[in-house]
């Protein structure tokens, strides 16, 4: 086997979607508190985990992510009341569908992390990095990345 490319060791790429009010703030706290954790996680801030379109997860996998982590407020704490519940519903169904498409359960993770839980960001990022490292790289069949048909046109 010739993989992976760099220096022989596989470094997982994990895309994280963190909600603005809880998990992203917690990640900030982890940073300010100088908590060290795996550098494999690239964070994208959403206003709410309920903004997570399942297309984002698939696009991340298509563009080379080996795992996707979603962080939102604890149930009952959502800044928009129930956005995180919608995230839960979608991620649960998406995980089932991805399983049938050959993508292991461990590559998609939803966690509730409050703004005070910097240590949980640290733990979850480390855990997930090791979990995905064990799973190995996600190798999708090559193919074109679909684009919006309205590309370059005004969407309406």
Partner 1 sequence: MSKPKVAFYWCASCGGCEEAVVDLAEDVLAVVDAVDIAFWPVALDFKVSDVEALADGELAASFVNGAIRTSEQREMAELLRRKSAVVVAFGACAWLGGIPGLANLSSSESILELVYGGSPSTPDGDGVRPHEESDVPEGRLRLPHFDETVRTLDQVIDVDYYLPGCPPPVDLIRSAVAALVEGRLPEKGTVLAPDVALCAECPRAQTKPADLKVTEFRRPHEVVADPETCLLAQGLVCLGPATRSGCGAPCIAANMPCTGCMGPTSRVIDFGAKALSAIASLVAPKEEASVAEVLDRLVDPVGTFYRYSLPASLLHRRVERETAGSRGGGEG
- The residues that touch partner 1, with contacts defined as CB under 8 A, are 1-3, 53-55, 57-59, 61-62, 75, 82, 85-86, 88-90, 92-94, 96-97, 100-103, 138-150, 153, 155-156
Q: Cβ closer to partner 1: 15 or 29?
A: 15
Least spacing, CB of residue 148 vs partner 1, in Å: 6
Q: Cβ closer to partner 1: 42 or 96?
A: 96
Least spacing, CB of residue 2 vs partner 1, in Å: 7
Q: What angle do CA 150, 140, 18 make, to 5 degrees?
A: 70
Least spacing, CB of residue 155 vs partner 1, in Å: 6
What is d(CA 116, CA 120) in angstroms, rounded to the nearest whole number?
9
Q: Cβ closer to partner 1: 115 or 140?
A: 140
Q: Cβ closer to partner 1: 29 or 58?
A: 58
Instruction: Give the distance from CA 19 to its chain's centroid.
Output: 11
Least spacing, CB of residue 108 vs partner 1, in Å: 13
Helices (H), the chain: 23-32, 54-62, 83-100, 118-135
What angle do the packed helices 54-62 and 83-100 form, to 10 degrees? 50
What is d(CA 128, CA 14) in angstroms, rounded to the nearest whole number?
8
């Amino acid at each position: 086997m010739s993989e992976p490319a760099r220096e022989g060791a596989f470094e997982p790429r994990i895309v994280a979607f963190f909600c603005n009010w809880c998990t992203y703030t917690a990640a900030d706290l982890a940073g300010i508190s100088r908590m060290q954790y795996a550098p494999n996680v690239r964070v994208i801030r959403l206003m709410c985990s309920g903004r997570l379109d399942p297309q984002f997860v698939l696009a991340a996998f298509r563009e080379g992510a080996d795992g996707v982590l979603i962080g939102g407020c604890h149930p009952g704490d959502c800044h928009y009341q129930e956005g995180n519940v919608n995230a839960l519903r979608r991620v649960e169904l998406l995980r089932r569908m991805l399983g049938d498409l050959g993508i292991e359960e461990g590559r998609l993770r939803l966690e509730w992390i409050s703004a005070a839980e910097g240590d949980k960001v640290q733990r979850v990022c480390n855990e997930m990095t090791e979990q995905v490292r064990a799973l190995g790289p996600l190798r999708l069949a090559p193919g074109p990345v679909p684009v919006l048909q309205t590309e370059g046109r005004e969407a309406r």
